[in-house]
Structure 1
């Protein structure tokens, strides 16, 4: 028996409707960003890394080394393959979201050219650097590409975009996407790759890109059946319209 479903209707592009539909995720992200921003303003740069570094353990190392990959291209590939079975349009724009993040964060990194934590501590607070629980040399980054955090931007863009596009179960999807994005952001500080300011800026940038891409995807051929279908459903048929029941007194 072929798969069938009713005609797909593009979502409303009214900002109010969008915010209401994604309120759980948006509230969680905004609260997290406000907390991050407060800590950035009230603490000296690097204090958060020193505090996090004190809790380093082999178990946490494994968790966050794997977790940071949730913001890398491999995560986009997995999401792409899943979304292709859901809606081709969404899969395409998920990739475009990642590309936009890569270009924008790359340009910002070149413009600001801020020292990574390893370089910053070694050049300015060498005693603090020696007291850190450092990772092995292959995992150390001594460059000048700290601001903003590309991984944080990538993760918040990807999982925000996924959350915006999945209609049900909304609360569960919102929680999962929020936790995945937050995991990547925290991992960048745990691994001594980024400061809290970098992560905060990256997360905010990723959220903005995801919102823009969500609305942009429905500006291009919104009624195109090929784009609105998933590959798994490529042979499906439309369900016939529902006929109203006829009562005995309506018959002649």
Structure 2
């Protein structure tokens, strides 16, 4: 099974590197991946929501989701699995970004992006496809830049969506609704 996963990862990664790398794509993917660095895009959206009347709690939900996904992905799973990144295993890789120092599995950019996209999609369902497209582009940029394997990306997306579901349940639970809504004096209905 492990050998099959390795063959799948190598095939997809080499296909992307051999067939999709172009100077314009290099610039686009470098920019897109930077949106996910440290949750930059998601923090900006959260701050906008916090200071925009009526969406304060949604902004806080986004920030908390980002924190939880980072703790779980970067702080726990990566240190349990300890998978070496493809850019550290392959000699002929020309990195377009600084070499990441953490482990590869799962992709933290993908994990946090899908987690936040899931929470935002629950609140703003009319923009669901946009949130998921942004998360998918950030995920693909990590593969394109050869800092993650496809299974790192896939697992990051799955973990992220599961994290989103758990955070939505938390934000909709009676305890949270009773105590936090009094503090923030606002309403939220995450589906």
CA spacing shift, 1:62–1:163, aligned 2, 3 Å? same
Given that 1:70 and 1:155 are in contact with CA atoms closer than 8 Å, whether structure 2 keeps it comes out as: no
Give the structure with higher Rg (CA). Answer: 1
CA spacing shift, 1:77–1:197, aligned 2, 3 Å? same
Map of 1:32 onto structure 2: none
Pairwise CA distance, 1:228: 1.9
Pairwise CA distance, 1:44: 3.3
Map of 1:51 onto structure 2: 15
Per chain length, whose mean CA-contact separation is higher, i.e. which structure has more relative contact order (CA < 8 Å, sep 6+)? Answer: 1
2:25 equivalent to 1:67: no
> How many residues of Structure 1 are paired with residues of Structure 2 in the alignment?
175
SS in 1 for 2:186: helix
Q: Distance in 2 between matches of 1:157 and 1:69?
A: 17
SS in 2 for 1:44: helix
Counterparts of residues 67-216 of structure 1 (less than 5 Å): 67-72=32-37, 73-84=39-50, 85=52, 86-106=54-74, 107-121=76-90, 129-130=91-92, 132=93, 134-135=94-95, 139-141=98-100, 143=101, 145-167=103-125, 170=126, 173-216=127-170
Q: Distance in 1 between matches of 2:102 and 2:6?
A: 24
**What TM-score, normalized by structure 2, do the two folds share?**
0.82
Deviation string, structure 1 residues 152-211 (Cα, Å, up to 9, x no partner): 0011011111111115xx2xx122112101101100000011000100110000001111
Poorly superposed stretches of 4+, deviation over 6 Å: none
Structure 2 unaligned spans of 5+: none
Given that 2:117 and 2:135 are in contact with CA atoms closer than 8 Å, whether structure 1 keeps it comes out as: yes
Given that 2:110 and 2:139 are in contact with CA atoms closer than 8 Å, whether structure 1 keeps it comes out as: yes
CA spacing shift, 1:221–1:144, aligned 2, 3 Å? closer
Given that 1:161 and 1:213 are in contact with CA atoms closer than 8 Å, whether structure 2 keeps it comes out as: yes
Q: As a proportion of its length, which structure holds more helix?
A: 2
**What TM-score, normalized by structure 1, do the two folds share?**
0.64
